[in-house]
Amino acid sequence: MSATINLRDFYPSEYKSDYFIEVSEEVAAELIADKRYEKAYQRRTFYNRAHYSLDVEDGIEASALACNIANPEFLLAMKERYCGLCRALNSLPEIQGRRIDAYFFGNKTQAEIAAVEGVCEEAVRKSISKGIAAMKKYFQNIEKGGWVLPCKSHGI
């Protein structure tokens, strides 16, 4: 026995128009079950607000962001937030910026950063804390209509 499926239903990014093929009943059943599982996963993610998790290793944030790719306003807002973060990092002294980048974006521990730089862990901890405080002041200054540094990573 065989079933007719529309590949557009299962691969909308690949097939922009209807494309029907004959597959076995088992394959059709697996495709339908996988589609149901994916929908249930998306509902659970939304219901549990899992896309707000700070754990980036499981890919939840990436899948939540992928749902909003078609929204140009959302993409523009995300780029502006990213550029704001780059500007705030660029406003820091080089050592603080490097340590914050390694700690938050490079997933390095404070002990690893201290070992690489040949300093004590306490110096790294204080530097990161002071850098975060300086970034907060930077963002507060922007909210008040203060100065803005160029975003070096995007040439803005």
Q: What is the mean pLDDT of each run of 10 residues along the chain (156 residues)?
A: 86 86 89 86 70 53 56 78 85 91 88 93 94 89 66 46
Domain presence at residue 149: no
Interatomic CA distance for residues 33 and 75, integer angstroms: 32
pLDDT at 90: 87
C-alpha torsion 33→38→40→46, nearest 10: 180
Longest CA span, the chain: 70
Phi, psi of 15 (to 5 degrees): -115, 110
Query: CA 63, 64, 65, 69 torsion: positive or negative?
Result: positive
Structural domain tally of the chain? 2
- For residue 110, the enclosing domain spans 76-143
Residue 95 lies in a domain: yes
| Residue where a domain stops, chosen among 19, 34, 66 | 66
Q: Please tell me whether residues 86 and 62 are part of one structural domain.
A: no
* Six token digits for residue 35: 């589609």
